[in-house]
């Protein structure tokens, strides 16, 4: 089914060695991003000390021009550093007050309103074993390759202490605890929560070091399929620094150094679905330059958080189903961004044998492709 991708191909603007050196979607083992703080109108955070765990009090005044839902407004303030889900939890607990009264997530903000947040200390996440089913593609005494489904977070973090891939791996691989980072044992690279596909984890320290070295040297190859809005050129090289969005902390963006770190994405067009006939009825107006949809193959020469999604949106070709960087309209009924890590190639850390695995896209991605192919064929000129 996936033989069309096996044909040798050259990647734009890089040597053959560089083309084979694909980074991961979110970088290597020790990838780090530094959130950008707000530059104006910072919230006031009075110190609290009552001899034990206390609620941090944060007071602010809604600035002129602000509008919309309270939870969205507060989540967009870089000086708070709180997600909408975290804010909604605080509101449900009565820890967000507007003019002294408990607030609701959907209530509208007005300039001049006084807002007070009472923030409990963040709970320290812990990696514990949980019997979560995994789609295991390959496993031996040194490594395990899984096909990550959409919605599964890779490792514990504040707000995601349980139900992660690491929790599942700890239950399956009894000796994994202590291999590398305490919260990310065995993790070599990551995928976004709603990005699907192949991911490898190490089961011992020597394998972790060897696989991490392959990521750092870009000899571990991870290849992605992306269904995007619009009609990009046949191939492209996106060389644009990526960093935390200066206002919306849950988003990344193309930003100038030093906030933006070097990022290089290579892509090739595999199939086009022009906006004509029945395909035009599924196209989102203004979503992508040229209209319609396009299936791309992508490789990362670097590995910044959300890199493929940010770079393609920056070009004007956002990934279909990506509500963070693209349109909210979803006529293809995708369950998340149509971005899938479909092929993984590495050298076995113990035997030195080259290994490659492939994974077809998830059902919703495959269904969208089937629909577009059928409609495009029916709409093709005679």
pLDDT digits over 325-377, tens only?
Answer: 999 999 999 999 999 999 999 999 999 999 999 999 999 999 999 999 999 99
Q: What is the pLDDT of residue 108?
A: 94
Calpha distance 270→266 (Å, rounded): 13
Calpha distance 165→12 (Å, rounded): 34
Superfamily for 56-119?
RNA-binding S4 domain (3.10.290.10)
Q: Where are the beta strands (DSSP E) in 62-107?
A: 96-98, 101-102
Phi, psi of 311 (to 5 degrees): -65, -45
Greatest CA separation for the chain: 80
User: Which of the four CATH numbers 3.30.70.890, 3.30.2350.10, 3.40.630.30, 3.40.50.970 does domain 13-30+126-377 have?
Assistant: 3.30.2350.10
Q: 261: pLDDT confidence band, cut at 50, 70 and 90?
A: very high
The domain ranges of the chain are 13-30+126-377, 56-119
Q: 80: pLDDT confidence band, cut at 50, 70 and 90?
A: confident
Task: State the average pLDDT for the chain.
Answer: 85
Q: 178: pLDDT confidence band, cut at 50, 70 and 90?
A: confident
User: Tell me: the pLDDT tens digits for 31-48?
Assistant: 333 333 333 344 555 544
pTM for the full model?
0.72
Q: Which are the catalytic amino acids?
A: 192
User: Tell me: the pLDDT tens digits for 137-161?
Assistant: 999 999 999 999 999 999 887 666 7
Mark 318-355 as b/e (b = at least 16 C-beta within 10 Å).
bbbbbebbbbeebebebbbbbbbbbbbbbbebeeeeee
């Amino acid at each position: 089914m996936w033989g069309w991708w096996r044909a040798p191909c050259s990647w734009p603007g890089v040597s053959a060695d560089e083309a084979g050196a694909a980074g991961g979607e979110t970088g290597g083992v020790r990838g780090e991003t530094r959130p950008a703080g707000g530059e104006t109108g910072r919230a006031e955070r009075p110190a609290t000390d009552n001899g034990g765990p206390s609620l941090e009090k944060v007071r602010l005044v809604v600035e002129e021009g602000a509008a919309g839902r309270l939870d969205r407004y507060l989540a967009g303030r870089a000086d708070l550093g709180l997600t909408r889900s975290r804010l909604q939890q605080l509101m449900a607990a009565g820890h967000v007050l507007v003019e002294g009264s408990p607030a609701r997530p959907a209530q509208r903000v007005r300039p001049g309103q006084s807002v007070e947040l009472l923030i409990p200390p963040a709970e320290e996440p812990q990696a514990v074993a949980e019997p979560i089913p995994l789609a295991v593609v390959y496993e031996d005494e040194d490594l395990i390759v899984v096909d990550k489904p959409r919605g599964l977070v890779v490792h514990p973090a504040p707000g995601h202490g349980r139900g992660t891939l690491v929790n599942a791996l700890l239950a399956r691989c009894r000796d994994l605890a202590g291999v590398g980072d305490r919260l990310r044992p065995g993790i070599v690279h990551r995928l976004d929560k709603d990005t699907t596909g192949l991911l490898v984890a190490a089961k011992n320290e020597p394998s972790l070091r060897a696989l991490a070295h392959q990521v750092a040297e870009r000899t571990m190859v991870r290849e992605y399929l992306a269904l995007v809005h619009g009609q990009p050129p046949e191939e492209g090289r996106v060389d644009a620094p990526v960093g935390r969005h200066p206002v919306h902390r849950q988003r990344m963006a193309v930003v100038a150094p030093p906030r933006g770190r070097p990022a290089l994405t290579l892509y090739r067009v595999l199939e086009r679905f022009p906006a004509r006939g029945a395909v035009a009825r599924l196209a989102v107006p203004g979503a992508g330059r040229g209209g319609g949809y396009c299936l791309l193959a992508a490789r990362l020469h670097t590995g910044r958080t959300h890199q493929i999604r940010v770079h393609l949106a920056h070009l004007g070709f956002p990934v279909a189903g990506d509500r963070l960087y693209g349109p909210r309209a979803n006529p293809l009924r995708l369950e998340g961004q149509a971005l899938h890590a479909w092929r993984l190639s590495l050298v076995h850390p113990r035997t030195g044998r080259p290994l490659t695995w492939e994974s077809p896209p998830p059902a919703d991605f495959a269904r969208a492709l089937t629909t577009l192919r059928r409609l495009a064929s029916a709409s093709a000129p005679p």
